[in-house]
A and B are shown apart, each in its own frame.
Chain A
Amino acid sequence: AQKVTQAQTEISVVEKEDVTLDCVYETRDTTYYLFWYKQPPSGELVFLIRRNSFDEQNEISGRYSWNFQKSTSSFNFTITASQVVDSAVYFCALSEGGTGRRALTFGSGTRLQVQP
């Protein structure tokens, strides 16, 4: 069965610190997709990134970067030089593209608080 674990329930940092949000997943499928979503206080989840299981290249987008490692089944998310506007709940999610479950399975989320 598919499963996503975000062990960090809440993280608090001071502005300009770097922070890494951990995500560990379980799946038996060889084809799968990993996602990160951000949920600001306004409530709607905002899509950040999608990676497929065949592309292990790390990705950087501005202050955001993602480290995908199949060997450890992890898809970690790093925010460099954090800002107050980064305060939100971040969700990692998995969907299977082969014979497994296609609908997204979400982790329980990590609440990030960035203090000024």
Chain B
Amino acid sequence: ETGVTQTPRHLVMGMTNKKSLKCEQHLGHNAMYWYKQSAKKPLELMFVYSLEERVENNSVPSRFSPECPNSSHLFLHLHTLQPEDSALYLCASSQDWAGFSGANVLTFGAGSRLTVL
């Protein structure tokens, strides 16, 4: 069983809906990440949280809103998305934020497959 659990695994939403993706890690890690994986594109880092504080935001549109209530949980709130936002959204965690040394190994969840109609 993976130490990082993502729900839902599949989500279909209209452009006017509001939904949330949830990520939970059971590894005692201090950093959590959201990545976007689109077809035929490299994984794109969206947000990084270290000890519940956002430490990186890679110019992500405001229709994506992250929330990290504690070091074990990470949410991605979605509203008024566009069809091009359809992708696999991957959550990951690491012992510490990679910003300290770059050496941290990430543990990934299985992803939430989002389709925006």
Contact = CB atoms under 8 A, between A and B. Distances in A.
A52 B103 CA distance: 8
A35 B99 contact: no
Given A91-B43, A106-B43, A107-B42, A42 B103 contact: no
B81 interface: no
Interface residues of A, number: 27
A44 B34 CA distance: 13
A107 B41 CA distance: 9
Nearest to B48: A103
B111 interface: yes
Interface residues of B, number: 28
A102 B111 CA distance: 23
Contacts of A109: 42
Interface string A18-56: 000000000000011101010000111111001010000
Interface of B: 2, 4, 33, 40-43, 45, 48, 56, 88, 90, 92, 97-103, 105-111, 113
Lowest 8 CB-CB distances: which A-B pairs, in order?
A: A97-B102, A95-B102, A45-B108, A43-B110, A44-B110, A106-B43, A43-B111, A102-B99
